Amino acid sequence: MSFLEKKQFAAALSMFNLYRDFSPAYLMRGQEYVEGGLLTLVEHGDTFLLCEFKGDSAHRIRLEWRDQRLVGRCACPVAARNVFCAHLAGAAILGRNILNEEIKNSWQNQLVFIQETPLKHEKKAPATGGDYFLLFMLIESDHEWSIRPAIAAMRKLSGALPDEILSSPQEMPAFLGENPELLNQFTMRPNRSLDAAHCVNLPPEAVRLAKLLQAVRSVQGYNPYASTNTLHQVMIREALVLLRQTGWPLYWVEESFNTLHLVAGPLRLPADKLQVVLDARKKENGDLMVRFAFHLNRQPWKSRSKPRVILESPLWLLSGDMLAEVESTVEAEQLDNLLKTRELLIPAAETPLFMEEYLPRLAEQFPVVGDGIRQVLVCESPLPRLYLEEKKGQLNVWLRFGYGEYELPYEDASPEIHTRFDLEQNAYVKIQRQLEAEQEAFRKVSQYGLKRAAGSNGLFNLRARVDVVDFLMKYLPRAVQDGFEIYGEEKIKSARVNRLKPTLSFFISSNIDWFDLQVSVRFGDVEAAFGEVYRALKNNQRYVKLADGSIGELPEEWAERYRHLFGLSKETAGGLRFEKNQISLLDQLLREEPELTTDEEFQRRRERLRAVSSIAPQPLPRGLQGELMAYQKAGYDWLHFLHEVGFGGCLADDMGLGKTLQVLAFLLSLKEQGASTHASLVVVPRSLLANWQREIEKFVPSLRVLQYHGQLRVKEVSLFDQYDLILTTYGIVVRDIKELRGYTFHYAILDESQAIKNPLSQAAKACRLLKSDHRLVMTGTPVENNTFELWSQFEFINPGLLGSIHSFRDQFSRPIEAQKDEASARLLRQTVYPFILRRTKEQVAPYLPPRSEEVVYGEMETSQKRLYHQVREEYRNQLLNLIEEEGLQDSRMKILEGLLRLRQICIHPRLVFSNFRGESAKFELALEHLTTLQAEGHKALVFSQFVESLRLLRAELDARQIPYAYLDGQTSDRQGQVDRFQNDPAIPFFLISLRAGGVGLNLTAADYVIHLDPWWNPAVEMQASDRTHRIGQDKPVFIYKYILRDTVEEKILLLQEHKRQLVEQLIQTDGSIFKNLGVEDVQYLFS
């Protein structure tokens, strides 16, 4: 039991308190039992008394102090009624005397007596002539001390002082101490004002202090030393500090009948403050001797007499000739208790109790000295720690701090110094807490999915939506990263965590039609089922259950690192499966994996494919009528390489670089080598049938060709074996796919393969149904608008290489187009790299004449502008309301309609308003330009996407008797129009519909190209312009694009810049213009 409880028990037995619990009659009888010797004390402790009654019915009585109240037990009938009886009253009186005596004589009581003296807090208060000698006097009157100036006129002292003092007034203090009778010449009540000029021994600052002391005395009135006078307290405090700093003489005097008597002086005011220390020394027998002492300048100081309190706040003590300030927080009343306390002898057996319960509190107030207690000062940075425990289904997290070998709990209001006794080291430990660092750690804990528990310091619980696994796997590692130590995690039963970093190892085995990828995932020696890992990563989960039942955390970067690996394959029992055409994709995905092993077949296939950078040259066929340029020969060799490794390819050279010639030479080579056992199929736009026929007749006449086209075609595919090449169109493939899929072609080749760029179109679906041993596509623009165009063409040439259309959307299309993901774009480029060959004219044909492009701006005519603004406002108002009501997606047809009308008005208002009789600014510009070109002997191509605009321009040319060639979708003799323009110098212009003549035509006779109106896709315009800027052109080519200012045409021109990379790069990260239009874009276009 504690000493405090013993005191509480004794206090409860005081007569005052006993009258509260006992009746007066029983107390009087109990007193009689004690005085008559009928009660004796058998045993007692700090909180109980056991007495024996020796009356008629002898028995024992027990009285206890329990739960802050008296509890009695007696065998008498009165006590049986739960009443405090006379026997219990006698026991209380007997025990009270014994307990009080023990308490009075205990060392604990003396220490408590000192500590429990209430500390007084500093009172806050506002801060306060012939020649003469000036001194300062310390005097006590009515139990109050004050400092007063005293002066003596030189004329009164001159006869009593020796000449050396008169000549050196600074020696006066020492002389006065030896001749105290001279004090009779000094007065503390001068009847003159003090003039600093006449003070012979002290500086003007001392005179000012004297004046202040006089002023304070005059303000105090009749009782100049009243303790309630705040000004006096402030003044004496400030005067003592100043006298200590300057050394001006201060004397302790007494006054009687206006006569001063020297007690001591001049007084010494040491610069160092007195310290009250706890001096503990160990005796030889192990007992501890403890006493309170004064130290000055870290040395023991003994007072010659009992120190007297001069000032209470701060405490100043006067002893003999020394006046000193006390540094400790000791107050005047407490000092009296300290001075009364004798040395305390603490038995060796009770030393641990003193050290653990009393010393820490004493040491917070008094420095500890002496050899009896070893002291350790800890000044280290706190190490935050979290202690985990599960209790009643709840996770408790305690915050504590490590300071070296010691640990402290978090507290809201922690003292800067924590003290404790280390029993093992037998040392008193003082820990310097870094409270700011502790508070910072406390704030961080709330970031780890925890909330502070109500009513408890340093205790945290999980937040509402955080479970134990989430905390252990997600938040606890973050705490460790922030420098926290974690304890008790191994005791958490609801979740066991494997903290080891997982590793992945791969093994590739080859089959005829696929590759199997076996994947092993291990956390140290514990394996995780790949199916669990696969599903976790696919579902963006971080944790998996391991074979031993523990939980493992998947690295966050795995989801992104293996996204394509998992997304472009199929799951099997122990890994993944890839199509045989996905070897380049698999190679790219696992290229940097350190734990990768493969079988020999995969290595062989991979090395053959990697040889694309060093393709062996192939001999040209003997029957080739013509020569291949160096880059065309390289393309011819590349086609042979793909044939050998068994993959399809995309020949994507710029328009006009002779893709047709390279493919025809390759097909002829296969025939001469005997490699082709069946006919090959070439699918082209209808407009290019004649061109292909001409190229075959010109360069490879030995190839037997069947033009499978027209209403009179024979739908008997068995006849194909009589030919080397079957030439047909996309439309025929769609209509005759049932018949065509019954024949296995040697090669299936698509020219202008952008015709199948929409994977859901009938043409794309039909072409994918064709059967062939090998496949090729030819296009100058493999990607125009979006990445699905690339997937559609590759699904034809190398089915499965880029995964299904859904996996391609998730792994490539969305990341590249919507998120601008360069990593996905790079992987796509690397995957298709071996199977695409693209050379630009700038790379392989620098000898082509220069090509320049120019935008020619015009201003609308007045009537044309009026109509434009009228239509624009009508559609703008309709569209904004429609978008707000039905959304952007459901408003697209109306948007297209509005844009179409505005663009048509820009070309010529008669395209919208047939009764319009005004002029068209663009037509005037075009006719003026064409007239000049004709006069200078140039030839020009004029493109428009609107057939009706070409017909209006045609009427204008007819009216001016200007000859021209004409081609649109309805033209029956397409080649005749091409030959007429190419070969007849009298035909200066060729009016061409962009859709009908934008691809497949060779029109090198023209050196000028005019675009009447801009098209959404710049690649289409570029294709059209390349009809003339191609191999065979020997003149500079000038391209003009007509744009009317402040119209939708100018805005389309700006939007085209966002698509420019689609033409210049294989893979693009910008979507098509119209597909990505937002509400802001619509407002912009119709503004």
Quick one: 472 and 581 in the same domain?
no
Side-by-side strand order, sheet with 705-707: 705-707, 725-729, 680-684, 744-751, 771-778, 649-651, 836-837
CB 1039 within 8 A of CB 853: yes
Q: What pLDDT score does 306 carry?
A: 78
Confidence of residue 957 (pLDDT cuts 50, 70, 90): very high
Residue 1062 lies in a domain: yes
Which tens digit of pLDDT belongs to each residue from 294-321? 888 878 887 767 788 888 878 888 888 8
Which tens digit of pLDDT belongs to each residue from 237-246? 778 888 888 8
Q: Which two tokens stand for residue 1053?
A: 């021109």
Residue 110 lies in a domain: no
Number of H helices, E strands in the chain: 43, 47
Q: Which helix (H) or strand (E) holds 459?
A: strand 459-462
Residue 449 lies in a domain: yes
How many CA atoms, within 13 angstroms, populate the side-chain half-sphere of residue 580?
11
Domain of 175? 132-264
Q: What pairs with residue 726 in β-bridges?
A: 681, 706
Is the pLDDT higher at 573 or at 148?
148
Q: What pLDDT score does 125 carry?
A: 34
CA distance 43 to 60: 11
Helix axes 600-610, 630-645, angle to 10 degrees: 170
Token pair 């696994």: residue: 469
CB 450 within 8 A of CB 486: no
Locate the DSSP E strands across 67-173: 69-73, 132-141, 144-153
Residue 373's closest CA among 360, 392, 387, 388? Answer: 360
Q: Is the pLDDT of residue 637 over 60?
A: yes
Which tens digit of pLDDT belongs to each residue from 386-434? 999 988 878 899 999 999 989 999 988 788 888 787 777 777 888 899 9
Token pair 């425990």: residue: 389
* Residue 379 burial (CB count, 10 A): 10
**Which residue type, as a one-letter code, is found at position 265?**
G
CA distance 327 to 308: 16
Which tens digit of pLDDT belongs to each residue from 717-749? 999 999 999 999 999 999 999 999 999 999 999
Distances (CA, A) of 598 to 54, 506, 602: 103, 8, 6
Q: What pLDDT score does 1062 carry?
A: 37
Rg (CA), the chain: 55
Quick one: 746 and 788 in the same domain?
yes
Q: What pLDDT score does 845 carry?
A: 62
What 3-state DSSP class applies to 135? strand
Domain boundary among 264, 298, 317: 264
Q: Is the pLDDT of residue 1053 over 80?
A: no
Residue 216 lies in a domain: yes
Quick one: 928 and 1070 in the same domain?
yes
Quick one: 913 and 999 in the same domain?
yes
CB 1057 within 8 A of CB 1068: no
Which tens digit of pLDDT belongs to each residue from 26-75? 877 888 888 888 898 999 988 899 999 987 788 899 999 888 889 999 98
Alpha helices in 707-799 (DSSP H): 730-735, 737-740, 762-769, 788-797
Mean pLDDT of the chain: 83
Residue 112 lies in a domain: no
* Residue 441 burial (CB count, 10 A): 23
- Across the range 774-778, mean pLDDT stands at 95
Quick one: 362 and 455 in the same domain?
no
CB 44 within 8 A of CB 50: yes
Quick one: 962 and 1074 in the same domain?
yes
CB 470 within 8 A of CB 449: yes
From the number of C-beta atoms within 10 Å of its C-beta (0-12, 13-18, 19+), residue 633 rates as: middle
Q: Which two tokens stand for residue 966?
A: 């004409």
Domain boundary among 264, 297, 332: 264
CA distance 569 to 586: 10
Quick one: 222 and 330 in the same domain?
no
Q: Is the pLDDT of residue 139 over 60?
A: yes
CATH of the domain at 1037: 3.40.50.300
CA distance 14 to 12: 6
Which distant-in-sequence residues (6+ apart) come within 8 Å of 188 by Cβ? 137, 139, 148, 149, 150, 255, 260
Confidence of residue 671 (pLDDT cuts 50, 70, 90): very high
Alpha helices in 390-474 (DSSP H): 435-445, 468-470
CB 546 within 8 A of CB 498: yes
Residue 951 lies in a domain: yes
Quick one: 78 and 173 in the same domain?
no
Quick one: 668 and 593 in the same domain?
no
Q: Which two tokens stand for residue 627?
A: 């020569």
Which tens digit of pLDDT belongs to each residue from 547-570? 877 888 888 888 888 888 888 888
* Residue 381 burial (CB count, 10 A): 11
Biggest CA–CA distance in the chain, Å, is: 159
Q: Give the rounded distance of the alpha carbon of 286 from its chain centre.
A: 60
Q: How many domains does the chain have?
A: 7
- Across the range 665-682, mean pLDDT stands at 93
Quick one: 193 and 249 in the same domain?
yes
CATH of the domain at 837: 3.40.50.10810
Residue 111 lies in a domain: no
Alpha helices in 116-169 (DSSP H): 154-157, 163-167
Q: What is the pTM of this model?
A: 0.49
Quick one: 873 and 1006 in the same domain?
yes
Q: What pLDDT score does 846 carry?
A: 66
Residue 208 lies in a domain: yes
Helix axes 892-907, 921-936, angle to 10 degrees: 50
Quick one: 485 and 387 in the same domain?
yes
Domain boundary among 795, 810, 844: 844
